[in-house]
Amino acid sequence: MDMMGKFTISASMLLTGFAIVFGVLILLIFIIWLYGTIVSKAQNKAIERKTEKEAKKRQELMDAELSKQKSEPVPEPNPVAIDEGVPEEIVAVISAAVYTMFGSKQKVKIKSVKRSKSQSEWGRAAILENNQPFGF
C-alpha cells in the first residue's frame, strides 16, 4: 500500500470517528433536553395541583371565618402597653416584624413595648465599625 492509500484510509477513519462522536453528542443533547422538558411539565402540573388545593382550602377557611364572624360579635383588641417616649410608628414596625417572623398561622400577641436600658445592637455595631484601624 502506498502513502496516498494510507492517508486516504486514515482521513476516512478520522472523519468517520468525528461524525460518530458528534452524532452521539447531538443525540445525548436531544435526550437530555427531552428529559428536562418532561420533568418540568410534570413538576408544573404538581405545583398547579398543590396551588389549587391550597386555594380551595384557603377559600373554605375564609368562608368558615366569615360565617363565624357573622355569628359572633367582634371583641375590641386589648391595647398594647407603650412606654413613654416610644412613638406609635415604632410600635407598628415592631408589630409588623413580629407578624413577619411568626406568620399568620400562629397567634402572637404583643403585650408591651419598652425602651432598652442598654445600647442597641445597631449602635454597638456602628461603634465597632467606626473604630477599626485602617487596613484591617
pLDDT digits over 43-93, tens only?
Answer: 999 999 999 999 999 898 888 877 776 666 655 666 666 666 777 787 788
Listed in sequence order, the residues at least 6 apart from 95 whose beta carbon sits closer than 8 Å to its beta carbon are: 80, 110
The verdict on residue 104 lying in a domain is yes
The reply to whether 2 falls in a domain is no
Grid cell, residue 86, equals: 416610644
Question: Is residue 8 in some structural domain?
Answer: no
Quick one: pLDDT at residue 74?
A: 54
pLDDT in tens, 114-127: 776 677 778 878 88
- The whole model's pTM is what? 0.38
- Asked if the structure places residue 129 within a domain, the reply is no
Q: Say how far apart CA 54 and CA 45 lie, in whole Å.
A: 14
Average pLDDT, the chain: 82
Pairing verdict, β 112-113 and 81-82: parallel
- 86 and 69 within one domain: no
φ, ψ of residue 81 in degrees (nearest 5): -75, 115
C-alpha cell at 106: 400562629
